Amino acid sequence: MTSESPEDTQPLPLLPTITPGTRLDQILRDSLRALAERGDEQTADISQEILAGRSGIGSLFDSAGFRALDSNTARALGDAWAALTPDQEELLRRRMEEGDS
């Protein structure tokens, strides 16, 4: 019986619209790692759970610790993302994956 190393396994998608291994996926993972290293204990724990595939990213937006980092920015980002139409979300995803700003 052989076991796979973490490098051999494909990471789970963080969001259903972001393909693992793309530029956008890497930016999101790097951001979650930064939160895990520099956030308060709750934010760090949630970030690690998301990276490990045991929790969804929505749990981060719902956490008091994340909101405390910058409640206005977090709220605006969550609201803006939630307000996207499916077409806008797809266009944004494609642009981010292609590296367009």
pLDDT digits (tens, 9 = 90+) for 64-76: 888 777 666 667 7
Nearest-angstrom CA–CA distance, 89 and 11: 22
Q: pTM higher than 0.75, yes or no?
A: no
Which helix (H) or strand (E) segment holds residue 60: the answer is: helix 58-61
The answer to whether residue 90 scores a pLDDT higher than 60 is yes
User: What pLDDT, on a 0 to 100 scale, did the predictor assign at position 101?
Assistant: 47
User: Please, which residues have CB within 8 angstroms of residue 81's CB and are 6 or more apart in sequence?
Assistant: 89
User: What pLDDT, on a 0 to 100 scale, did the predictor assign at position 16?
Assistant: 83
The answer to whether residue 57 scores a pLDDT higher than 60 is yes
User: Please, which residues have CB within 8 angstroms of residue 63's CB and are 6 or more apart in sequence?
Assistant: 42, 43, 46
User: What pLDDT, on a 0 to 100 scale, did the predictor assign at position 50?
Assistant: 92
